[in-house]
Amino acid sequence: MSGWSAHKGPAVLLAAENIDTDQLIPARFMSTPRSAGYGDYLLYDARYDEDGRAVGHALNRHTPSILVAGRNFGSGSSREAAVYALADFGVKVVIAPSFGDIFASNAVNNGLLPARLGAADHALLADHLSEDARDLHVDLASKEISFNGKTLPFELDPAWQTKLINGWDDIDVTQQHMDTISGFANARRAHARWAWPGGGDGRQSR
């Protein structure tokens, strides 16, 4: 995963609250391998009718790289496929007053920024986008969104900020700690045998 520190692109407003991950990608598409691309599945049931015809949805008119959405975006199911659908569609940043906790972790693990914006600033931004898609500039290093000479600060956990900028992959990071991990595991097995399946007595062997 490559890191990034600033992004400029077209933004679209999806005003609804609670856009959950079931809406972001309906369950029936989840048996598809990632290599097939998930972009077409993004918000599928909102974008297409039952016969698969495109309806009048903002994402059928625009191909934004930034979404501005209502509170509790990405709530619900832990399906990372919701992030794959956004990423494969070309979305790099989602801006909302709040995000589902699991969705936000998944987003950062895929280089997608979940930027939290205060209610007043969010309303300002939503107003700016109410008519049409417009370009926004997102600065990850200073945690700011700018447009029309205005600059709005967004919130992001510092650990996630570092991770996005550096494009860190957790498995790579953790492999530096493998000795510490096996030391921890051995100590736990010795001092808390009950924490192993079957009390670590081998009864659980296959």
Residue 50 interacts with another protein (CB under 8 A)?
A: yes
Which position has the token pair 């930034």?
Answer: 66
What is the closest distance, in whole angstroms, from the C-beta atom of residue 65 to another protein in the complex?
Answer: 21
C-alpha 118/C-alpha 110 separation (Å) is 24
Residue 69 interacts with another protein (CB under 8 A)?
A: no
- Residue at 166: amino acid letter: N
Q: Do residues 98 and 43 touch, judged by C-beta distance below 8 A?
A: no
Residue 34 interacts with another protein (CB under 8 A)?
A: yes
Which residues, other chains included, contact 98 with Cβ-Cβ below 8 Å and sequence gap of 6+? 71, 72, 73, 116
Residue 100 interacts with another protein (CB under 8 A)?
A: yes
From residue 128, how far is each of 71, 122, 124, 134, 142 by CA, in Å? Answer: 17, 10, 6, 8, 22
Quick one: which of 37, 118, 153, 197 contacts another protein (CB under 8 A)?
197
Q: Do residues 65 and 93 touch, judged by C-beta distance below 8 A?
A: yes
Residue 18 interacts with another protein (CB under 8 A)?
A: yes
Taking the least distance from each CB to another protein, the nearer of 74 and 136 is 74
C-alpha 129/C-alpha 123 separation (Å) is 10
Quick one: which of 61, 62, 150, 193 contacts another protein (CB under 8 A)?
193
C-alpha 135/C-alpha 115 separation (Å) is 16
Taking the least distance from each CB to another protein, the nearer of 5 and 174 is 174
Residue 45 interacts with another protein (CB under 8 A)?
A: yes
Residue 195 interacts with another protein (CB under 8 A)?
A: yes
Where along the sequence are the contacts to another protein (CB under 8 A)?
A: 15-18, 20, 22-23, 26-28, 30-31, 33-34, 45, 50, 71-72, 75-81, 83, 98-102, 105-106, 109-110, 157-159, 162, 170-171, 173-175, 177-178, 180-181, 184-185, 188, 192-201, 204, 206
